[in-house]
Every structure is written in C-alpha cells, then in structure tokens.
Amino acid sequence: MGYGKAIYDTASKKMELRRDQAEKECERLKAAFFKAQPKAEEIERSLADTSIAAAKAVLKGGDVRTHLEMLKNANQSLQKKLDFLLAKEGLTAADLEPKYCCKKCSDTGYLDGRMCSCMKQLLKEEAYRELNEESPLQLSSFETFNLCYYPSENFSGKSFSPQKLMEKNYQRCKQYAETFSIDSASLLMTGGTGLGKTHLSLAIAKAVIDRGFGVVYGSASTLFSHMEKEHFSNQEEVTLQSLLNCDLLILDDLGTEFRTAFTVAALYNLVNSRQLSKKPTIISTNLSLKEMENNYTERFSSRIGSYILLPFFGKDIRQIKRFEKNGN
C-alpha cells in the first residue's frame, strides 16, 4: 500500500496515542485499586518476584522441577488472594489489563512482523481525511454522478450523443476502480471545465482507497507548489516521494498551475518515473493534446501517449446547477 509519508506518520502517531491512552487508563485503575486495597500491591510485587525466581531456577539448574513446582504453588496462592481483593472491589484480573482498541496487535499496528488490519483501516481513514481536504469526498461518488446533465442529442454528423459518450466514460471509470491493481493502466481525462472530470477522479479515488490501496489526489497547482517550495528551500522532498510511491496518483486540473521551467521538468520526471515503475496515474486537464505538447514538451506527450484517453463533452454542469439553484 503506497501511502504518502505524511499519512503513515499521522496514522502511526494516532496508533501510539491509542496505546498510550489504554496503558495510562490501566495504570489509573490499578492505582485506585491499590489505594482501596493496599495489600494487593504487595501481592502483585510478590507475584513478580516468583516469576523472577522461576527464571533464576531454570538458569541455575539442579532440581528445577521441584523448585518450579513450589514457585507455582506459591504463585497460585498469591493469585487467589489477589482475586479475593479484586472481587471485593467488584473487579477481575482482566479489569487491570490495558483495554487496547485492537486485541490482536495490542495497538502496535503490527502482528508477527506484518501490518495489522487495524493499521490498514487507520491508514485508509487518514487517506480519506487528506482527500476530503481537497474536495468533499461524500459528494463525489459514482452514485452521485448524474448523466442527465449531458445532452442526449447526437453530435452533428455522428451517431452518438455527449450523454452516450459520458455513459461510456462513467462505466470505464467505475470498472477501473472496481478492478484496480498496481498493474492497472493510466488514464487521461480531457475536456472543458465543469464536465465531471474531478467528480469521476474522486469517485475512483474513494473506491480504490476502499479496496486498500494508497491514493494521492491533488490539483496540479497545489502539488507543484508544494514540490517547488520543498525543492528550493532545501526541505525533505516529502511531496515528491509521496507522488512517486503511491499506488495511484491522481493529478487534477493539469494546466492550471503557474508554469515554470521547474514545473515542466518536474511533471515530466514524475510521469516518466511512475511509468518506468509501472505505477498507474490519472491526469485530468482542460487542455487539448496539442496544447499539452506545446506547454510541456514533446517528451511529455510521448509519455502520456500510452494513457487511455477519456474525452469529456457537454455543457458546464456547475453553471447548470447554479442556474437551477437560482430558479433560472
């Protein structure tokens, strides 16, 4: 799962906080119990001593079995006394153990050297949170994509309409999300503003995250601004590493960024590196193929030549919705 470093760091800190809270609450309960039953603390220390004595007996050798049997009996006697005191306070031994959110990994995030399902869920939640900072994810799903906003009349001289074309794009995007893997193809969404490119990009992002993959989504202007700032201020290039390593990169609104020699070179290196690593990318843009070649060089155009092209047609849906809202 190729999540960005920031997502891993935030998820790890939250996991650590969960563990600390569980252990501090456990210590608080223990302190209250020992205050109510002072003898219980002495018994617990004695139980710890018997464990140490057992370990020493094994190391020392000799009649280990007899020694361990004596320690076992002493331990059981102490445990019964402790259980009696616990019962007086309406407690059991389990009540004085940390109440971890995840019983499998005790809120460490890992189990037998592998990432636990709780950590995977936390990473997914953080990815959602980051995505929602860019756009309201709940408003951009496949379920909320409305084909009725696209004209049903055929193109002039063609046997299909913008609505039919967009229905095809919708089905392609939905299938792409449902079958996404690290071997998936890259997509290039082209067309004017307000035609649903961002909506379907976010719908793909949500579905792919749901399936446990790491997605980085951002507008070209935002992502290149972060990259440029980190590069020229000699900071750790966290943004670039996130873009290179994520399972799916979604670069929205290419062409809206302030274009410089740095951004042109960074875009080529990003697309080229991900292609060499066979990592899928989705790019959406208002630019035509010719405009992209003019703006970002022929080398860039040759790299995105292998992307599946999804042309978007119709009228600006955002304007239509505004007119509907105003009663026009």
Which residues contact residue 6 at a Cβ distance below 8 angstroms, ignoring those fewer than 6 apart?
130, 238, 242
What strand order describes the sheet that includes 281-285? 215-219, 248-254, 281-285, 187-190, 308-311
Nearest-angstrom CA–CA distance, 167 and 163: 6
pLDDT of residue 174: 97
Run means of pLDDT, 10 residues per run, the chain, 328 residues:
74 94 92 90 79 63 62 78 89 89 93 91 78 62 88 79 91 96 95 90 90 86 87 77 86 92 93 94 94 92 94 77 60
Write down the pLDDT at residue 54.
60
In this structure, which amino acid lies at residue 240?
A: L
* Coil vs helix vs strand at 144: coil
Query: 151 with 161: CB under 8 angstroms?
Result: yes
Q: What is the pTM of this model?
A: 0.67
Q: What is the pLDDT of residue 86?
A: 87
User: In the beta sheet, which residues pair with residue 309?
Assistant: 188
Nearest CA among 283, 280, 293, 183 for reference residue 224: 283
Q: Left (φ > 0), alpha (ψ -120 to 50) or beta: where does 107 sit?
A: left
